[in-house]
Amino acid sequence: MAKVDVGKKILSENDRVAAENRKLFDAAGALVLNFISSPGSGKTTLLEATLDRMPSDLKVLVIEGDVSTTRDLDRVKAHGATGVQINTGGGCHLSARMVAEVLPELNIADADIIFIENVGNLICPSTYDLGEDAKVVLLSTTEGDDKPMKYPSIFHESRLAILNKIDLLPHLDYDDTRAEREVSVLNADCDFLRLSARTGDGVDTWIEWITKRLEEKRS
């Protein structure tokens, strides 16, 4: 009897659906960013700060992923976003199928940017393509600066690493230079930004990164 690698079969099906999602996103000309971090790094706070500073002529949609509740979706809606919630019921990541099932609830044809806030986890989401243009991994100064080497897969897959909560650097034993260096060792093509979603320091640079990626996609 032939052996079936269940893991490979699941990922193969996920990649198939992700490719279908990507076709829809590309047809709309929308830039899709998959936000990944450990819990408490500040993904939702950064989305709030981003929405407040995003150029008003850009249409933004948000897909919120979490184990339960609509709390994060409620937060981003309060900052003007249109979005939809995906609750995994215990699952540690979003899948391409989960995203595909909620797309009919969104008017992606008019979207410029779609943020997908994944479930808080640095491991599981790294292997699941959702059809995004780029994975963005968020680090926090309240975590250890050794996160890149401890969780290398997500840094191999990400286009951008953001270090959040830099306003706390004077009060913490966090070596931001080490973190940036280790990200570069793992993935020389991964950009690295420092910011504070709470104070707004560096958020404009992040928005410039987003708008540049959108221009590149549409050029």
Residue 1 has pLDDT above 60, yes or no: no
Query: Residue ranges per domain, the chain?
Result: 28-218
Q: What is the pLDDT of residue 9?
A: 78
47-62 per-position pLDDT tens digit: 999 999 999 999 999 9
Q: Is the dihedral of CA 88, 104, 128, 132 positive or negative?
A: negative
Q: Tell me the one-letter amino acid at 129.
A: D
Cβ atoms of 59 and 47 closer than 8 Å: no
Task: Classify domain 28-218 at the CATH superfamily level.
Answer: P-loop containing nucleotide triphosphate hydrolases (3.40.50.300)
Can you tell me the distance from the alpha carbon of 213 to that of 219, in angstroms, rounded to the nearest whole number? 10
Which pLDDT band holds residue 135 (cuts at 50, 70, 90)?
very high
Q: What is the pLDDT of residue 4?
A: 53
Write the CB contacts of 111 (distance below 8 Å, at least 6 apart in sequence): 28, 30, 59, 60, 61
31-44 per-position pLDDT tens digit: 999 999 999 999 99
Which pLDDT band holds residue 141 (cuts at 50, 70, 90)?
very high
57-82 per-position pLDDT tens digit: 999 999 999 999 999 999 999 999 99
What percentage of residues in the chain have a pLDDT greater than 70?
A: 97
pLDDT averaged over the chain? 96
155-197 per-position pLDDT tens digit: 999 999 999 999 999 999 999 999 999 999 999 999 999 999 9
Residue 212 has pLDDT above 80, yes or no: yes
Can you tell me the distance from the alpha carbon of 90 to that of 137, in angstroms, rounded to the nearest whole number? 21
94-120 per-position pLDDT tens digit: 999 999 999 999 999 999 999 999 999
Residue 149 has pLDDT above 80, yes or no: yes
Structure tokens at 177: 């230079």
Q: What is the pLDDT of residue 216?
A: 97
Structure tokens at 104: 């009919």
Q: Is the dihedral of CA 25, 11, 122, 148 positive or negative?
A: negative
Which pLDDT band holds residue 15 (cuts at 50, 70, 90)?
very high
